[in-house]
Amino acid sequence: MKAVCWQGIGKVGVETVPDPQILNPRDAIIKVTSTAICGSDLHLYGGYVPTMFRGDILGHEFMGEVVEVGPGVTNLAVGDRVVVPFPISCGNCYFCEKELYSLCENSNPNAHLAEKFWGHSPAGIFGYSHITGGYAGGQAEYVRVPFADVGPLKVPDTLDDDKVLFLTDVLPTGYMAAEQCDIQPGDTVAVWGCGPVGLFSIQSAKLLGASFVIAIDRFPERLAKAKIAGADVTLNYEEHSVLTVLKDLTGGRGPDACIDAVGLEAHMHGATHIYDRVKQAMRLESDRPGALREAIVACRNGGVVSVPGVYGGLVDKMPVGSIVNKALTIKSGQTHVHRYMRPLLERIEKGEIDPSFIITHHLRLDEAPLGYEVFRNKEDECVKIVMKPDGQSLASHDHSHSSHVH
């Protein structure tokens, strides 16, 4: 089969690799019909996540058709159309029973590696380095799905791929980020980063009752999408001092909740950004936490800072005094996707959410190298790329989905 493989820093290629096989009774094989490139795939592409090997198959946002099931999978049948959550979860362990699926204790065969980095291991994740299991990902024609009796969710044929694909990650991730803010009527929420997770955080904050949502980014096309997602105010941080504007908009008090949907490759201004870039380049600091620092400093006393943005390792100059003296609550975590898929699918079915508004590009799977480059460089107003093994080419950049402000 064809698969998108990591070939080194800044290099992916489409290679012909062996088809996946059923290895365990609870496995299923899925024929992929749609798969997306995620912002966190860019962290792998950029070499920020250790334990990637040449030839590793990328991708953790994918859906498709069941073509084979192991004898332990009785809830799926060949021909079912399913979306697959990005964390791999057994459904039976201490954490799965508490619905903390991204912390499953049984799905990461390389838990010892993760323990070295983080103290304890999270769940295995598709296509996301060997620290999280070394599983082959879904940017491929076929993929093996372990614990297929627990993860995949059947989707109705009436909803096309573009409407349900994001149930695999970015929609539940944005939703969980907003849910963690414990939003009360009248609350103001500020969101750093208007990529897919930020956009769904904005939309979810509104669904959960936020009165006022402020979206922060530097790309006009992303800020335009933030408006579609429901942001009341958009803020270009290259034109304004974020901290000053947030104070002005909240009577000096600061937002009730702040969401960092940027993560470890934050782009910021000034001396501290240069400091982070230098330290990261020298491998003295693995992550650049500019957005997180600003979210902590901006948040009102007693507020919540929710962090769906991905961080991998160590950061510097964390304003811990601000956390303590302002009595902040910090909430984070890889998304417990299984918990959110069904209720969010119901909202999509009812027409309350149409997640396809974030898509700017459809590609064929074999155009992945170009897709990664365009997405990393934010070229061509790219926000989200969906690839289909038999899809259209990049030449057909779908302007009907994007509403640009011209």
The residues binding Zn ion (CB under 5 A) are: 38, 61, 89-90, 93, 96, 104, 106, 169
Q: Give the residue with the Cβ less far from Zn ion, 96 or 155.
A: 96
Q: Give the residue with the Cβ less far from Zn ion, 273 or 376.
A: 376
Q: Residue 203 corresponds to which tokens in the numbers above?
A: 């939309």
Q: Give the residue with the Cβ less far from Zn ion, 150 or 231.
A: 150
Contact between residue 43 and residue 265 where contact means Cβ atoms under 8 Å apart: yes
Give the shortest CB-62-to-Zn ion separation in angstroms: 10
Contact between residue 365 and residue 236 where contact means Cβ atoms under 8 Å apart: no
Give the shortest CB-101-to-Zn ion separation in angstroms: 7
Give the shortest CB-207-to-Zn ion separation in angstroms: 20
Give the shortest CB-59-to-Zn ion separation in angstroms: 9
| Nearest alpha-carbon partner for 154 in 101, 83, 85 | 83
Strand, coil or helix: what is 106? coil
Q: Give the residue with the Cβ less far from Zn ion, 90 or 213.
A: 90
Q: Give the residue with the Cβ less far from Zn ion, 152 or 255.
A: 152
Distances in Å between the Cα of 49 and the Cα atoms of 8, 69, 114, 316, 397 are: 12, 32, 12, 18, 30
Backbone angles phi, psi at 279, to 5 degrees: -65, -35
How far is residue 349's CA from residue 13's CA, in Å, rounded to a whole number? 36
Q: Give the residue with the Cβ less far from Zn ion, 260 or 294.
A: 260
Distances in Å between the Cα of 31 and the Cα atoms of 26, 54, 379 are: 17, 24, 30
Q: Give the residue with the Cβ less far from Zn ion, 174 or 254.
A: 174
Burial 175-192 (b: 16+ CB within 10 A, else e): bbbbbbbebeeebbbbbb
| CB-based burial label for 369 (10 Å; 0-12, 13-18, 19+) | middle
Give the shortest CB-89-to-Zn ion separation in angstroms: 5
Q: Give the residue with the Cβ less far from Zn ion, 58 or 69.
A: 58
| Residue positions counted in the chain | 406
Q: 156 in the Ramachandran plot: left (φ > 0), alpha (ψ -120 to 50) or beta?
A: beta
Q: What is the DSSP string of 261-301?
A: -S-TB----HHHHHHHHHHHHTTS-S-B-HHHHHHHHHSPT
Give the shortest CB-349-to-Zn ion separation in angstroms: 23
Give the shortest CB-181-to-Zn ion separation in angstroms: 20
Give the shortest CB-219-to-Zn ion separation in angstroms: 19
Give the shortest CB-236-to-Zn ion separation in angstroms: 25
| Nearest alpha-carbon partner for 166 in 353, 397, 316, 321 | 353
The residue at minimum Cβ distance from Zn ion is: 38
Q: Give the residue with the Cβ less far from Zn ion, 86 or 142.
A: 86
| CB-based burial label for 211 (10 Å; 0-12, 13-18, 19+) | middle
